[in-house]
Structures are given as C-alpha cells and as structure tokens.
Chains A and B, each alone.
Chain A
C-alpha cells in the first residue's frame, strides 16, 4: 500500500501540517519505507487475538463529583499568544476551508 504524493497531502491536511513541495518527496520516501517495513505484521495470523489497548490498569477508576479550584483567568490565559476579554482569540474561520468542526 504505497502512498502517493496526493495521499501524503491528504494525511498532512488531516494533521494540519503543511508540506513544502520540496519536502514532499523525502516525506513520501520515508513514510513508504516505514510502511513497507511494518507490512511484516501482515504475515501473522491474528485471528481471535484481542488487541492490547491499554497499559496496566484494567478498569477506569471513578472520581467523586466534587468541585476543585479552577485556575484564575489570568493563569489560564498566561501562555496564550492572543487574548481578548479573557478569551483566546483566533483568526477568522473560513466555512469552506476544511476548518469546520462539530
């Protein structure tokens, strides 16, 4: 399953990474090398094998519904690149630019 330049562009778009035209070839070669390497896993018979999704704990602990202190607005926004009225400011959202969230 070799990736084309267009596949790479699609993946980069999903990850919100920009690839310069000059980078694309190198990235494609690197990714295809890794993907070719991981193909070895396809040799294994994995029928009936459960995936290991988590590390140690087998069950999520539940916390009691108690309110604890929040940060101050100043603390919450201290590292923010652009703040206005205690809120994080972002550039305008283009409806058709693939920005659309939920």
Chain B
C-alpha cells in the first residue's frame, strides 16, 4: 500500500426542497402515487418549455456561498443528452462550462491532525431524473421496467470536489461537514436513504513518484451510495481491490462500480472506456442566468451561522469538544439544544443529558430530535426539577423514560408515578435537620418522653416539604436525627 497514494474526489447530488420542481409547477413531494406529480413539462411532452424556479436558484446560491464558492454573476444552462427511460426529454437540463459557482472549500478536521481544506471545484444546478422500477431482482434479469416521473424535474445541485481527499476517513469527514453545512441552510432534506442526497466517489491510486495529471489516472467511480458509512466502506474496499490489482501487475480499468450493501464490496456496472458522448450544448430555451452581485452579497449577509462558527461558539461556552462536535453535525440536535437552553440555563448539563439519555431513548424509539416525544422545553423542565432538588439524577432518568412513554410533562410523570413524594433520603434529611435545629424545645420534650412531640415535628417537616415527603420516612429520619444529635451532645 505504501507505494500508492489514495486519490479521492467526490460528487454529491443534493435535492433542493423547493415546493415545486425546477422548471414547472409540479409538487416535489416524496412517496406519492407514481406519475401523479407530473405535467406536460416534466413529462417532456412535445412543445413544452422550461421556466426556472427562483427559489431553487436562491437555495443553490446559499449553498454555494456557505461552501465558500464564488457565485458567477453570469451562468448558463446546457443540455446533457443521453437516452434513458427515466429522462423524459432525452436530455437533462444542467450546467456545463459556466456553472453557478466555482472555487469553494470545505474544512475537515482529522482527529489529532491539523485542519485540511478540501477544495470544491464547482456547484451547478440541474434537474433530477425520474425513477425506474425494475420488474425483477436485478436490472439484468428484469423482464422490463416501469417509469415513474414524479421525481423528474426536482431541482438538484451537484457539488464536485477536487481530488483532494486521501482516505476513506477524509471522505467521511468531508461528507459529514458538507451535510452539516447544508443542513443549517434549510435547502434540502439531505436524506441519503430517500435519495435526497446522493454520493459518487471517484477513487484512484497514484503510484509514488507519479508526475502526471491526476485526471489521467484510471479512475473508478462508485455510484449512488446510500449512506456516508457506505461511502467509507466502498472506498476502503476499492482501495484494497485496486492495490491488489496493481500489485498483481494488472491495470485498473476505468469503470463505474456499484456497492453491495450487504457485503461492502463493489461490483462492476459498466466500463467507461467507451465514454458516453453527452453532446452538451447551450439550452436554447433558457437565456443565461444573470445574478446581480448586490443580490449575491445580500444572500451572503443573510446566511445563518454555519458549523465552523457554531463549533467555535459552543467551545467558547465551555462545552466539551466532543459534545460540541455532535451538536454541530446534527442540525436537529443543535436546534433542540438551542431551544432547551432558552428554558434551562445550564448549557453543559443540557448537552450532557441530550447526548446521553435523550439520545439513547431517541435511538431506541427511532425518533429524532426534531420529532422527539420529549421536546426541548420538556427536557428543560426535567432538569429544573433536578436543580431544585425535587429529583435526584437517578430519579430524573426514570422520569425521562416516563416522559418518552407517556408524552407527559416531567411534573405530570412525577405526580402520576407518586414520585412527587420526596423519597430521596439525603434531600429530606436536610429538611429534617433544619426542623430539629429550629425547634430545640420540642425536641427536648420528645427526648424527655413526650411522644406527641414527634408528631409535631413530623408536621413541621411535611409543611416544609409542602406535603411531598413520605411520613414514614420522615418519622425514621427524625428519630435518626434526634438520636444522632444525642450522640453529638
């Protein structure tokens, strides 16, 4: 392995979450009845023309600026031509030589290493294709395929990195940071399982001492991987496979490979030796996209806080680095935290609870921070009860579980489960000691044999705890306290 350097470039397709498609007014909802969200335009009927969705452009520009790209005031659309049943016009309206934005970067931080900037070559806007359902196990043995064009025309941005990544781990960090950044912009659902974020990784091995262009190295493209974890697996497998091939003295074939989720292996899909000739040419139905520099500036001034800023901010507030990192990478967690600290001041405690107990319950119940049975205000209330001594940490955990199960507030759970009695000996003992100290005469009476005096003292404790203490326990504790006082005096 040492004789090769791993060279990785990544292309990410992100579906923008506009209401309507890129070039027509059809809705972009996921999971609808096949072909129910289509019109003459996205069906590629004769005579139709595209009209650009301004919101898609704004989302694309936001994304480009957040990834530190330069947005071109003048870009144009081109037709990328190939025949496939999921591509209704037999061309995809995309951007070829004058994309929306260029020259950006994403900073990744390897553990224990210095930050590294991964350059973003370009970001362009294009339309998505439809969906093919193959009537068989695999494409090869299908008797036919069924075309659903609901997704055809949904706006996409394609983010192309430079081949700056040197390991599967760097690829993972790049994708994680990229996804985190986009998540704060509210431009996409970013769900890889549903295909609203899709990755292709180009992997090649560069022999040590190779002086030529990276572009000329035989490249294998791993297509359409459905999770960041699988991108990592695919790259790991590909690096091992390619180095074996090279060590056996064979050459790497430029091709497209798929990833088998079950085995983590890649398999050949099609050779790129006979590259598609896409016959790009400027889309005559769409004049160039002209963006006022003043407008681009305005969009850039209104960008929300992004991971780099948020990370810095969290660490400045004293959160441990690891907690800060988890919050930054999960926009929903960060939003949850931000809301919760509005109600409960101990920011570190909120993070701590979120990332341990809340996270555990969310995972177990397959919820998410955004759709969580216990909202940020609910968690804050629970932590308040802990802070005022009503609940111990152990009890609070039990209450939290109850809250998840019943969807009730912390106080409701406490009450319903009888947890509102102060059963915590340590807390109650404090109250008992105070009562004993405040009523020296009565205590003396009790010691002198007046049993009734104890009842008075119990009443005082119950009063001080507003009836939340368990009388039997109070009795025991009073006796213990007075007895122990006996010993000390």
Tell me, yes or no, whether A and B come into direct contact in the complex with CB atoms closer than 8 A. Answer: yes
Seen from chain A, the residues whose Cβ lies within 8 Å of a Cβ on chain B are: 14, 16, 53-55, 57-73, 76-77, 84-96, 98-102
Shortest Cβ-Cβ A-B pairs, 3 listed: A101-B84, A68-B25, A62-B54
Task: A73 to B36: give the CA distance in the assembly, Å.
Answer: 5
Contact partners of A96 in chain B: CB under 8 A: 270
B39 at the interface (CB under 8 A from A): yes
Number of A-B contacts (CB under 8 A): 147
Q: Mark B94-129, 1 if CB is under 8 A from A, else 0.
A: 000000000000000000000000000000000001
- Within the complex, the shortest CB–CB distance from A68 to chain B, in Å, comes to 3
Q: Is the CB of B282 within 8 A of A54?
A: yes
Check A86/B85 contact, CB under 8 A, given A14-B277, A65-B55, A70-B38: no
Contact partners of B57 in chain A: CB under 8 A: 62
Q: Is the CB of B35 within 8 A of A77?
A: yes
Q: Is the CB of A92 within 8 A of B143?
A: yes
Q: Is the CB of A87 within 8 A of B288?
A: no
- Within the complex, the shortest CB–CB distance from A82 to chain B, in Å, comes to 9
- Within the complex, the shortest CB–CB distance from A9 to chain B, in Å, comes to 14
Q: Is the CB of B20 within 8 A of A67?
A: yes
Q: Mark B299-330, 1 if CB is under 8 A from A, else 0.
A: 00000000000000000000000000000000
- Within the complex, the shortest CB–CB distance from B134 to chain A, in Å, comes to 8
Task: A81 to B34: give the CA distance in the assembly, Å.
Answer: 17
Task: A59 to B76: give the CA distance in the assembly, Å.
Answer: 10
Task: A61 to B43: give the CA distance in the assembly, Å.
Answer: 22
B77 and chain A: residue at smallest CB distance: A60
Q: Mark B255-298, 1 if CB is under 8 A from A, else 0.
A: 00000000000000110001011010010101111100000000
Contact partners of B149 in chain A: CB under 8 A: 76, 88
Seen from chain B, the residues whose Cβ lies within 8 Å of a Cβ on chain A are: 18-20, 24-27, 33-40, 43, 51-57, 76-77, 82-87, 92, 129, 132-134, 136, 139-140, 142-149, 269-270, 274, 276-277, 279, 282, 284, 286-290
Q: Is the CB of B27 within 8 A of A87?
A: no
B50 and chain A: residue at smallest CB distance: A60
Q: Is the CB of B27 within 8 A of A67?
A: yes
Contact partners of A77 in chain B: CB under 8 A: 35
Q: Is the CB of A70 within 8 A of B26?
A: yes
B150 and chain A: residue at smallest CB distance: A70
Contact partners of A55 in chain B: CB under 8 A: 284
Q: Is the CB of A53 within 8 A of B53?
A: no
Task: A99 to B82: give the CA distance in the assembly, Å.
Answer: 9
Contact partners of A90 in chain B: CB under 8 A: 85, 144-147
Q: Is the CB of B146 within 8 A of A87?
A: yes
Q: Is the interface of B mostly helix, strand, loop or mixed?
A: loop
Q: Is the CB of A84 within 8 A of B146?
A: yes
Task: A72 to B289: give the CA distance in the assembly, Å.
Answer: 32
Of B18, B27, B38, B287, which one neighbours A58 at CB under 8 angstroms?
Answer: B287
Check A63/B269 contact, CB under 8 A, given A54-B288, A88-B147, A90-B145: no
Contact partners of B25 in chain A: CB under 8 A: 63, 66-69
Q: Is the CB of B142 within 8 A of A71?
A: no
Task: A87 to B130: give the CA distance in the assembly, Å.
Answer: 11
Task: A96 to B139: give the CA distance in the assembly, Å.
Answer: 11
Task: A71 to B24: give the CA distance in the assembly, Å.
Answer: 12
Contact partners of B55 in chain A: CB under 8 A: 64-65
Contact partners of A16 in chain B: CB under 8 A: 83
B256 and chain A: residue at smallest CB distance: A100
Task: A94 to B134: give the CA distance in the assembly, Å.
Answer: 12
Contact partners of A76 in chain B: CB under 8 A: 35-36, 38-39, 43, 149
Task: A64 to B277: give the CA distance in the assembly, Å.
Answer: 34
- Within the complex, the shortest CB–CB distance from B56 to chain A, in Å, comes to 7
Contact partners of B87 in chain A: CB under 8 A: 101-102
Check A57/B143 contact, CB under 8 A, given A64-B54, A73-B34, A101-B84: no
Q: Is the CB of A87 within 8 A of B84?
A: no
